[in-house]
Amino acid sequence: MSHTESIDVPERVTPHVTKLRANAKAGAFAQRTAKVWELATGTRMAGYLLVAPAVLFLAVWFVWPVLTMVHLSLTSRVVEGVSVEGFTLENYVRLFSSDLYFRILLRTVRIALLTSLFAALFAYPLAIAIARGGPTLARLVTITILAPLLVNVVVRSYGWQTILNKTGALAWVLKMFGISNPPVLLYTEWAVLIACVHVYLPFMVMPIAGAIGRIDRSVEEAARVAGATRLAVLMRVMLPLSLPGLAVGASLVFSLSAAAYVTPQILGGNFSPLLGTLIEQQILTLNDWPFGAAISTLLIALVLASNLIFLKLVSRRFARWTAGAR
C-alpha cells in the first residue's frame, strides 16, 4: 500500500513542486532585487543621487543668475541693453550720490523699519492670545491671521485702496464721527505703511506666538505670585523671553517689506516708490540693466544685513540675560 502510494505521490504533486520551484525562483529574484535596492540605497551614492537634481536645478537657475547679476552690476552700460564691459563701481556711486535714488533708498529702509515696528506692536496681543488663550480663541486667531495669506497680495492691497479712497470706507466712518474733510491717505507713505503692516503681520505673529508658547508657564506664575502686575509680567518676563521670536519676525517682515513691489505700487502710486519700483523702472522702462542689477544687489545686501543685525543683536542680549539668570 505504502509503496504504491509513494509512487503515486510524485505524480500528483508534480505540478505543485514545479509551482514551488517557480516560487522559490521568484523569491530568490525578489531577494536579489532587494539586495540591489539595499546596495543602491545604503551607499553614499544614493544620497548624492537623490539630492543631486534639486541641487543642480538651484545651482543653475538660482545661484548662477544671482552671481551673473552681481557681476553685471559691476560693469558699465553701453548704449542699449546689456553690456559686460570692464570693471566699474559707477553704478553704486550713482546710486549713493544721486539725491533722487538715495531718497528712495532711505524711504525703503524707513518703511521697512516702521512696518516691523508696527507689526510687532499688533502682533504681541495676537501672539499672546494664540499661545496663552483657550483652544477656541487660539484657533480663531490663528485662522483669521493666516487665512489672508491665501488671498492674493494684489487683492489685499486693493482692499486697502477701497478703504483709504476718497469715497472709501474710512472716509465714511470718519464722516459719521463728524470729520467731514478727512486727510487723504491714499498715495502717501502712510497708505503704503498701513498696507505693508497688514500684509506682513502673519510673519510677525507666528514666530512670536511660537516663542511665547515655549516660555514655561511657571515662570509667569512665579512672577505673579511674587507680586508682579500683569503689565510687569508682560514687560519683564514675556517680552524678554520672547525676543528670539521677535527677532525672527522682525527680520522676516523687514526683508519682505523692503523688497515689496505690489503694495507700494498700488497704495503709493508714483509718489512714494521703493527700491523694487526703481529696479522695475530701470530695467523694463529705461533698459539700464547694469544699474538695475546694482539696485538689486543692494537690496540683497540690505536684506542680509537686516537678518544678521536682528538675529545677532538679539542672540547676544539673550545669551547675556540667560547667563545672568543662572
Partner 1 sequence: MNETVSLPLKITVGIILALVVAPLFVPVLMSISDTPYIVFPPQGFTLKWYGEVLANHEARGSFLFSLELATIVTVVSLLLGVPCAAGLTRYRVPGQDAVLGLILSPLIVPLIVTGVALLQVFALMGWRATLMQLVIGHTVVCLPYVIRSVSASLLLVNRNLEDAAAVLGASPHVVAMKVIWPQVRPGILAGGTFCFIVSFDDYPVSMWLADGNHFPVPLYLYTVIERSFDPSIAAIASLMIFFALLLVLVIEKVFGLSLARLAS
Smallest gap from Cβ 36 to partner 1, in A, equals: 10
By CB under 8 A, name the one of 88, 174, 215, 224 that touches partner 1: 224
Nearer CB in complex with partner 1: 14/41 = 41
Nearer CB in complex with partner 1: 13/301 = 301
64 is a site residue for partner 1 (CB under 8 A): yes
By CB under 8 A, name the one of 292, 294, 310, 314 that touches partner 1: 292
And the C-alpha cell for 311? Answer: 538675529
- Nearest CA-CA partner of 112 in 249, 251, 257, 250: 257
Helix ranges restricted to H, the chain: 2-42, 44-58, 64-72, 90-97, 99-132, 135-146, 153-164, 169-176, 189-214, 217-225, 230-233, 239-241, 243-258, 262-268, 275-280, 289-325
By CB under 8 A, name the one of 29, 57, 96, 321 that touches partner 1: 57
And the C-alpha cell for 98? Answer: 544721486
By CB under 8 A, name the one of 228, 239, 283, 311 that touches partner 1: 283
Residue 187 to residue 185: CA distance in whole angstroms: 6
Each residue of 71-101: b (16+ CB within 10 Å) or e? Answer: ebbbbebeeeeeeeeeeeebbbeebeeeeeb
Hey, which residues between 117 and 146 contact partner 1 (CB under 8 A)?
122, 125-126, 128-129, 132-134, 137, 140-146
Smallest gap from Cβ 9 to partner 1, in A, equals: 30
163 is a site residue for partner 1 (CB under 8 A): yes
Smallest gap from Cβ 31 to partner 1, in A, equals: 9
Hey, which residues between 90 and 119 contact partner 1 (CB under 8 A)?
none
